[in-house]
Amino acid sequence: MAQLSNDSTTAHNPKMGDGSRGVVQAVVDGANAAYLYGSLNGTDYQLIESFTASAIKEIVLCPFFKLSTSASSVTGTVGGSTKVIIDETR
């Protein structure tokens, strides 16, 4: 299990192979939403999920993940006590 960096400049790289599954838990503090982005090449990021409330989701793992404060671009640092945790499964 790993906590993703709240800083959008730091990518998380899952250790399992491409196409593996994972479970993501977002703990949203009520005031600071988190937007999960993914990328296949580490350069071009696309929005995967918007977490405006705490939730658990199953996702397909891609090689790179980042968190953002924006639903339209990978920018900023997610504030408060909001955090996103990823658990890689098979």
Distance CA 86, CA 72 (A): 22
Cα-Cα end-to-end distance for the chain: 13
Each residue's pLDDT tens digit, 24-69: 999 999 899 999 999 999 999 999 999 999 999 999 889 999 999 9
Query: Which domains are delineated in the chain?
Result: 2-88 (2.60.120)
pTM of model > 0.75: yes
| β-bridge partners, 22 | 59, 88
Query: What is residue 72's three-state secondary structure?
Result: coil
Residues 6+ apart with CB under 8 A from 44: none
